[in-house]
Structure 1
Amino acid sequence: MNTIKFKIVGLCICLFVISNNIQAQKTITSVASSYTLEATIKGLEDGITVKLTPGATHSSDPAVAETIVKNGKFVFSGSLAEPRLYYLVFGKNQGFISVMLENSKMNLTSNAEMGSDENKRITFKNTVFTGSKSDAYFKKETAYRGDLDKAYAAYHTKESDEVSKLIGEARKEKETKKLDSLQNLPVWKKFEADEKAFFTNVEKSMTDLIVRHKDSWWGPFFMMSQFSYLTPQQKPLFDQFSETAKNSYYGKLADAEVNPKSLVGTSVAAFELKDKEGKSVSIKDIANRKEYILIDFWASWCAPCRKEIPNLKKAYTEFAAKGFEILSISTDDNQKAWNTALTKENMSWPNLLDNDVVSKSFNVKAIPATFLMDKNGTIIATDLRGEALEAKLKELLKS
C-alpha cells in the first residue's frame, strides 16, 4: 500500500514537473516569439524619423518599419523567424546604428551629436546595445576585423604611400621608364608582397568564419555580411552549407547570388535615367528604331571598363548604321569623375548615370557588365566584349 502511495505521489510530482515545464516552455515561447527594441538617444531632435532597414542583403531594401523620435526615445517591435541584421537609419540618411535583432527585449542607449554641415550628419558616441545574444555573438566572431585593420595600417607606411602616389602619376602620364623604375624599388617590392599576404589572410579569415558556421543560418549570414557581393565563383563555399543553412533567410539571399538566374530570354523593364545635363532619358527613347542595343555598365574608376571602350567604339563604327546602338550606364558615385571620363573617352553613343536601381534590376555585381537586347526588349546575350561582341553582331546584322 505504501508502495502504491509512493508511486502515486511520484506520479503526481512527475506530472506537476511536466506541467510546469510545459507551462515554462509556453511562457518562453510566448516571450521569444516577438521582439521589442526600446531606444534612448540623448541629443536627437524631436520629430526626426528613424527607419528600420535590412542589412547584409547586398541591395537597397526599403525600410520594414518607421517611427519618430520623441523626447529622445523611440520603440520598434515585431517578430522574426531568425535573428536579422538591421540598420537604424536616422533622418535623411544622416546617420545610422547597426543592430542584430532577435526575439527578445532589447535596449539601446547612445549620445547623438548633430552636425552643422549642409547634410546635418549625426554621429553617435557611447552606444550600448543590450538584450540581443545574437548581436554580442556577431561582434565577438567578427572582432578579427580589428586585427586586420591594424595589419593593413602596418604595411601602409609613409614611404610606400609616397611611392604609390608617384606610380599613379607616372601611370597617368604614361611615363613607362619612370614607372618601371618605381615599381622595382625595394620599398615597393616589399609593399606588394605585404599586400598579397594581407589579402590572402583576409580571404582565409572570412572563409574560416563562414565554414565554422556552415550548419546554421550563421554561415550564410556571415557570407553576406563579410563580402560586399557574391559571385558564382563562390559557389563551392556556399555548397558546404547544410540544407538548414541554405534554406534560411540569408541562405536564400546568398543562393540567389552564387547561382544567378540567366537574364537571357527575359524582357528589360522600362526605365529612365539622367544624362550629364540632367535630362531624363528612357530606354524606350534609345531603343526606338534600333535592331539591337548593348546595355553597358561601367564606371570611370574601373580600369577594365575603360580598356574595353576602344572595342565598343570599333563595334559602334562598324554596326551603328545597321541598327546597332550602345547605352552606357555609369555606376559612378562621383558625377564629376563621370563627366571627366566622358569628356576624355569621347563616346558618341548615349551615356546615362545609374540610380542604383537599374543596375540592381540587371543583377550587376561586377563591372564591366553588358546585356545585348533586341528591338522587342528581350535580352539575347550577356557579357559580350571585344571579339565576342563583334562576332555576335556580324551574325545578327548580316548584310
Structure 2
Amino acid sequence: MKKLILVGALALPLLAGNVYAQSKTGFTLTGELANLENGKTVFLLSRNMTTGKSDTLAKAVSAAAKFTLKGSVASPDLYFLGIQDTRGGVPVFLENNALTLKGDVKDLKNAVITGSKSQDDYTAYGKEVKGISEKQAALETEYVQARKDGDKAKMEEIGNKYDALDAEKGKVTEAFASSHTQSVVAPFLLLQNVNDDNAAAFGAIYDKFAANVKATSSGKALKGRLELMAKTAVGQQAPLFAGKTPEGTELSLKQVLSSGKYTMIDFWASWCGPCRAENPNVVKLYEKYHAKGFNILGVSLDRDGEKWKKAIADDKLTWGHISDLKYWQSEYAAMYGVQGIPATFLLDANGKIVGKNLRGEELAKKLEELLGAM
C-alpha cells in the first residue's frame, strides 16, 4: 500500500498566517493526562526531519497526573512530546505562549492542545482528513488479516483501496497547504503526503511559503525531499551504486545494467509483508522476460543478514542482491529517496529511469510494452 478538494473551512482568512506577537519570556506548556503515573519524565524533543536526530528542548517530572514544561523557541516549529516508558508521542507546534495539553496517556494521539495558533491549524487539518484516516486504519486491520490468511487477491484489493484514499488525502493536503502558506504546519503536512503524483503541485506550494516557514525543520526536509524526487523522476539518469551480495562479494548497478536491456531496482526487505506478497509476481515476470533482457537488482533494507538470505531462498529470488544491512538508514534507499517499500525503479540499458514504483499488473504491462514483442 503506498487524492476532493475541500473549500469551506479552507477558504477562511489566515489571521495574518501565524505572524503574531509571541511572549518574550518563552513558552509554558501545562499538561494534565489521565493515567499519568507520578514520577514519570515528560519531555519535549526537537527533531531534525532530514536526519531523524532528536534533541531535548525541555523536560519535567509528573505529579498528580500533571506536569509543566518551560523554555523558549526562536520561532514557531514542530516538536514532539514524549513520556517515559510510554509508546508514541504528541506532535506539538510550539510557540512562545502559554499552552495547555489535556488527554489520556492511553490515548495520546487524541490529546488536545490549546494556546498555539499553529497547533490550531494542525487540529483543523486533522478534522478535514479524519474520515479518510479512519477508513485507512480499518483497511490496515483488514490487510493484516488477509496477510495472515494468505489471501493475496484480498491484499491487492485492499492495497488499491488504500492507495485511492491516499490520493484523496493528498488532494485535501494540497488544498489546505495552499491556503496556509504562512503556517509552519503546511510543510510538515506536505512532507507526510508527498509522492510522485503530487510532487510538482507540492513544489509549487513550497515556493509560496513565507521565509520563516521554509526555515523550519519540516520546510528544510520538504525542500530536500522534493529535490531528491526530481533527481529520481522518470526520465532522469539513475544514481549509480555498488554493495555487498549475500556471499560478500561486490555487485554494482553498472554491472547489472551492462548485461541486459532493462533493469529493475527492487527495494524490499524480508520483514516487509507487501514486498513478500509481491515477490511471486516478480519471479514470474523475471522468468518470462529475463531471456529477453530483463534484469533485477534487489536492494534489501534488512538488518539481519541471515533473515535476508533466508527470504531470498524461500521466495526463489534468483537475481542479484545487495544490502548494507542498515535498515531505514540504508545509504541506497537514501540515494533514491525511498521512504516506503516495496519501491521500484525501472531503468533502460543506459541507466535512464523509464518507470517508477511499478508493481503487479502495471509492471506486467510495462514489460510487455518494452519486451513483449521482441
Normalised TM-score (structure 2): 0.56
Aligned match of 2:225: 257
Q: 3-state SS of the aligned residue for 1:43?
A: coil
Is the contact between residue 290 and residue 325 of structure 1 (CA under 8 Å) also seen in structure 2?
no
Q: Distance in 2 between matches of 1:66 and 1:267?
A: 43
Q: 3-state SS of the aligned residue for 1:209?
A: helix
Aligned match of 1:89: 82
Is the contact between residue 35 and residue 77 of structure 1 (CA under 8 Å) also seen in structure 2?
yes
Q: Structure 1 counterpart of 2:28, which letter?
A: T
| Cα distance, 1:340 vs structure 2 | 5.2
Greater C-alpha radius of gyration: 1
Which whole-Å deviations, capped at 9, do the CAs of 1:76-133 have from their partners, x for residues lacking one? 523132x2232223346623122221121223344435xxxxxxxxx54984433222
Q: Which has the higher contact order (CA 8 A, sep 6+)?
A: 2
Which whole-Å deviations, capped at 9, do the CAs of 1:48-68 have from their partners, x for residues lacking one? 46351439x476342453646
Q: Quick one: structure 1 residues 309 and 50, their matched pair in 2 at CA, closer, same or farther if it must change by over 3 Å?
A: farther
Match of 1:35 among 22, 27, 37: 27
Aligned match of 1:212: 179
Which whole-Å deviations, capped at 9, do the CAs of 1:148-176 have from their partners, x for residues lacking one? 3567799x8xxx99xx89x973749xxxx
Which whole-Å deviations, capped at 9, do the CAs of 1:359-383 have from their partners, x for residues lacking one? 55322145434599xxxxxxx9475
Is the contact between residue 220 and residue 251 of structure 1 (CA under 8 Å) also seen in structure 2?
yes
| Cα distance, 1:343 vs structure 2 | 0.7
Q: Structure 1 counterpart of 2:300, which letter?
A: I
Aligned match of 1:223: 190
Is the contact between residue 221 and residue 251 of structure 1 (CA under 8 Å) also seen in structure 2?
yes
Q: Quick one: structure 1 residues 54 and 351, their matched pair in 2 at CA, closer, same or farther if it must change by over 3 Å?
A: same
| Cα distance, 1:215 vs structure 2 | 5.6
Aligned length: 303
Aligned match of 1:62: 54
Aligned match of 1:103: 96
Which whole-Å deviations, capped at 9, do the CAs of 1:282-334 have from their partners, x for residues lacking one? 99954289974787422551466664456768999999xxxx9955314699x
Aligned match of 1:244: 210
Aligned match of 1:11: none
Aligned match of 2:267: 297
Q: 3-state SS of the aligned residue for 2:300?
A: strand
Q: Distance in 1 between matches of 2:38 and 2:165?
A: 43
Is the contact between residue 332 and residue 338 of structure 1 (CA under 8 Å) also seen in structure 2?
no
Q: Distance in 2 between matches of 1:40 and 1:267?
A: 52
Q: Distance in 1 between matches of 2:167 and 2:39?
A: 47
Written as runs of structure 1 = structure 2, the 5 A alignment for 1:36-185 is: 36-41=28-33, 43-44=36-37, 46=39, 48=41, 50=43, 52-54=45-47, 57=49, 60-65=52-57, 67=59, 69-71=61-63, 73=67, 75-81=69-75, 83-91=76-84, 94-112=87-105, 123-124=107-108, 127-149=111-133, 169=151, 171=153
Asked if 1:345 corresponds to 2:345, the answer is no
Q: Structure 1 counterpart of 2:151, which letter?
A: E
Is the contact between residue 52 and residue 66 of structure 1 (CA under 8 Å) also seen in structure 2?
yes
Q: Structure 1 counterpart of 2:95, which letter?
A: E
Match of 2:334 among 361, 373, 381: 361
| Cα distance, 1:209 vs structure 2 | 1.6
Q: Distance in 2 between matches of 1:34 and 1:51?
A: 14
Written as runs of structure 1 = structure 2, the 5 A alignment for 1:311-322 is: none
Q: Give the unaligned 5+ runs of structure 1.
A: 1-27, 114-122, 173-178, 271-280, 373-379, 390-399
Q: Distance in 2 between matches of 1:305 and 1:129?
A: 44
| Cα distance, 1:200 vs structure 2 | 6.2
Q: Structure 1 counterpart of 2:226, which letter?
A: V
Q: 3-state SS of the aligned residue for 1:98?
A: strand
Aligned match of 2:360: none
Is the contact between residue 180 and residue 186 of structure 2 (CA under 8 Å) also seen in structure 1?
yes
| Cα distance, 1:218 vs structure 2 | 4.6
Aligned match of 1:287: 250
Q: Distance in 2 between matches of 1:332 and 1:39?
A: 38
Is the contact between residue 89 and residue 109 of structure 2 (CA under 8 Å) also seen in structure 1?
no
Which whole-Å deviations, capped at 9, do the CAs of 1:19-41 have from their partners, x for residues lacking one? xxxxxxxxx96724733334454
Q: 3-state SS of the aligned residue for 1:224?
A: helix
Q: Give the unaligned 5+ runs of structure 2.
A: 1-19, 258-264, 356-362, 368-374
Normalised TM-score (structure 1): 0.54
Give the percent of matched residue pairs that are identical in Structure 1 and Structure 2: 17
Q: 3-state SS of the aligned residue for 1:141?
A: helix
Written as runs of structure 1 = structure 2, the 5 A alignment for 1:261-276 is: 262=231
What's the RMSD between the two structures over aligned residues? 5.5
Q: Distance in 1 between matches of 2:120 and 2:209?
A: 26
Q: Quick one: structure 1 residues 112 and 329, their matched pair in 2 at CA, closer, same or farther if it must change by over 3 Å?
A: same
